[in-house]
Amino acid sequence: MPTGAVIEFTSISKRFGKVAAVNELSFTVEPGRVTGFLGPNGAGKTTSLRILLGLVAPTSGTATFGGVRYRDLPNPLATVGAALEAASFHPGRTAQNHLGVYAIAAGLPRTRVMEVLTQVGLAAHAAQRVGGYSLGMRQRLGLAYALLGDPGVLVLDEPINGLDPEGIRWIRGFLRDMAAEGRTVLVSSHLLSEVQQSVDDVVIIARGELVHLGPLSSLDTDAAPQTIVDSPNREALGAALTAAGIIFSIGRTGLLAATSDPALLGHLAFTAGVELSVLHRQKTGLEDSFLALVGGSHSL
């Protein structure tokens, strides 16, 4: 079983002319876990991953796998499997031949080609020219390329784009399985909701800079200050809250009380003899925390 290496970004910066695409980015990615690399469009995700893979030269900083730069890996495809967002195929080549070319270049057995095509569900289309592939099929072929060397590290840039619901379900399970086998899995997305079912850790960047790092649960801020409470007899409930000095407003699903303690409201209602129909704390969604972190994500 291939084992994962630690991915380490150390003070990576990249400028494209005047654009600072990535700025002093440092973080590590551990094996045995799925790490989501998140940020809005143009945040610098693809640029960072291409630097990691030696395709783009950083202006400064280093990125390594277990301390080794990609270009210095003795068997790169057998160590790191990467699928980047751009479709990188010659349209006139069949899927089988496309993968065959790189299996030869990396010294991998030709039998791997059909194995990975089967793994991603493209076995029936192996002999078809890639020019005729749909977006989802290209995405799967990109993934097949990443799996060619049965690598311990997977680096996937927006792998969910263009997949159908069945494909999305499959890839989520696939990412979990890969991590469970001890591999390092780094997967980028501009949508937290797209990956939140599969990731253990998140690395969030915005405008090329790190804004948050930690387990997924660290986004689940418990500090929401409001509790939603409702009753068939709203007037009586409102009176009880007012009597206890709790400020509230009337929301769509009930009264929005300015307290983070539902038990307190339950006790108040009980002692006032008011029947409750709704009582729960208003949670800030993960996506809300994400949007708050990346701030103003819709203006590039």
Partner 1 sequence: MTTFLRSVSAEFAKIFTTRLWWLLAIVLFCYIGLIAGGLGALLAGVETGVISPDTVNTGGAGAFGFGSLPPIIYSFASSVGYVFPVLLGVLATTGEFRHQTLTPTFLATPRRGVVLAAKTVTLVLVGAGFGVVGLAASVGLGGGALSAFGVDALLLDSETWLQVGRTILAMGLWAAIGVGFGVLVPSQVASIVVVLAFTQFVEPLLRLAASFLEVTAQIGNFLPGSASDALVGASVFTLANPAGAPPLDWWQGGLVLLGYAVVATVIGYAVSWKKDVT
Ligand X SMILES: Nc1ncnc2c1ncn2[C@@H]1O[C@H](COP(=O)(O)OP(=O)(O)OP(=O)(O)O)[C@@H](O)[C@H]1O
Applying CB under 6 A, which residues contact ligand X? 16, 19, 21, 39, 41-47, 190
User: Residue numbers of the site for partner 1 (CB under 8 A)?
Assistant: 46-47, 50, 53-57, 70-71, 73, 76-77, 82, 84, 86-94, 97-98, 100-102, 104-107, 145
- 92 touches, from partner 1, Mg ion, ligand X, none (C-beta below 5 to 8 Å by class): partner 1
Closer to partner 1 by CB, 107 or 296: give it: 107
- Quick count: other Cβ atoms within 10 Å of Cβ 209? 16
Q: Which residues pair with 16 in a beta bridge?
A: 19
19 binds, among ligand X, partner 1, Mg ion, none (CB under 5 to 8 A by kind): ligand X
Judged by beta carbon distances under 5 to 8 A according to partner kind, the member of ligand X, Mg ion, partner 1, none in contact with residue 139 is none
Binding to Mg ion by residue 297, rule CB under 5 A? no
Under rule CB under 5 A, residue 198 binds Mg ion: no
User: Segment near Mg ion (CB under 5 A), from 5-13, 44-52, 53-61, 264-272?
Assistant: 44-52
Query: The tokens 């709790």 sit on which residue?
Result: 246
Cβ contacts of residue 4 below 8 Å, gap of 6+? 31, 32, 152, 153, 182, 183, 184, 185
**Least Cβ distance, residue 231 to partner 1 (angstroms):** 59
Please give the C-alpha separations between residue 11 and each of 24, 62, 209, in angstroms, as whole numbers.
4, 7, 10
Report the residue number, 12 or 126, with the smaller CB distance to ligand X: 12
Instruction: Give which of Mg ion, ligand X, partner 1, none residue 125 binds (C-beta under 5 to 8 Å, depending on kind).
Output: none
For the CB of residue 246, give the shortest distance to partner 1 in the complex, in Å. Answer: 56
Burial of 252 (0-12, 13-18, 19+ CB in 10 A): exposed
Distance of CA 48 to the CA centre of its chain: 15
Pairing of strands 278-281, 227-230: antiparallel
The stretch among 43-51, 57-65, 209-217, 276-284 that binds Mg ion (CB under 5 A) is 43-51
Cα gap 113→92, rounded to integer Å: 18
DSSP assignments along 22-39, one per residue: EEEEEEEE-TTSEEEEE-
Residue 6, contacted partner among ligand X, partner 1, Mg ion, none, CB below 5-8 A by kind:
none
What residue ranges bind Mg ion (CB under 5 A)? 45-46
